[in-house]
Amino acid sequence: MEIYLSSETEGRAGSLLLPIRNMVDSLLDDIRKNEYGSALTSVGVFAIIMKEEMYDSGGYCERQYYSKVRKEADIRLRLNYKSFCNAEAEKRVELYKQHVSRALEIAANKAKIADPEFQRDKLVYDVRQAFGLTEKEEKVKNKSTVIYLAGETEEGAVKCFREVMQVVDPMLDEIRARSYGNALRELGIFAVIMKESSYEESCWKEKRYYSATKMTAEVRLRINYRNFVFAKPENQINMYKELITRAFEIAVERIQKIDKQFCGEELLCDVNKALGAVKRNLYWV
């Protein structure tokens, strides 16, 4: 599998990133030799490390692109300029490793949707193993819950959703720092905000998945495209909060059918506190 690393940087970030990128790139050599399935043959990972004011004009957007036909992905994610430049050397390397790992995981998730036979878990594990991230994850996994938010969006929803997620995502940090039982180690919540015509493609279906073996859950829910794009910013935030709340409720319901000891009510209570008052019935398609 082809993997190439690139970046868009300014100021000190460019000179600081270059040796780190070269080192991390070499760690991917064994991954490049492996085959994880025909759904993904090429991935480009771009780190965007710009000062905040550069984003104000709408430039340097994040991108999570996957082509089922070409079997390639182009993942562009931002890295906080100050956090990266002001970090100690060792921490800076870790930040970039996590950045690349997350980008490859996003690409793997999209390939898995396109082809259920794609070895998503193996690719993600091999990357983390190559970067030395698995040992650190092992130390904290019993004391925390991995929660990641993502979206499948198009056209007018792309920028709106990115801005909303930047507001809402940090609200879940305290929940991430806690464990509510061994039945849930990782939860992925995906907002699908596509035009009605796009839903004719099977890959945009809603999903409610839980694996007791892997202790992971994945919930994908739709937000009405027009309602979201043309809503006021505060209502867009509320729609997304409602979707997240509903996703947690779905995950808890499925987990508690298998593990009665799971602290689901406590988790939902913490989610409600973290997100604040959430109006209901705004986001449904």
Prediction pTM value: 0.53
At residue 218, the pLDDT reads: 93
User: Does 121 score more than 50 pLDDT?
Assistant: yes
User: Does 205 score more than 80 pLDDT?
Assistant: no
Can you tell me the mean pLDDT for 240-264?
94
At residue 140, the pLDDT reads: 45
pLDDT tens digits, 122-139:
999 999 999 998 755 544
Q: Mean pLDDT for the chain?
A: 88
Using CA atoms, how far apart are residues 259 and 215, in angstroms rounded to an integer?
A: 11
Token pair for 276: 């604040």
Token pair for 200: 């004719």
Using CA atoms, how far apart are residues 279 and 232, in angstroms rounded to an integer?
A: 14
Using CA atoms, how far apart are residues 30 and 131, in angstroms rounded to an integer?
A: 12
pLDDT tens digits, 148-185:
888 888 888 888 898 888 889 889 988 888 889 889 98
Strands (E), the chain: 2-9, 42-49, 63-67, 72-78, 146-153, 186-193, 207-211, 216-222
At residue 280, the pLDDT reads: 67
Q: Is 47 exposed, middle or buried (0-12, 13-18, 19+ CB in 10 A)?
A: buried
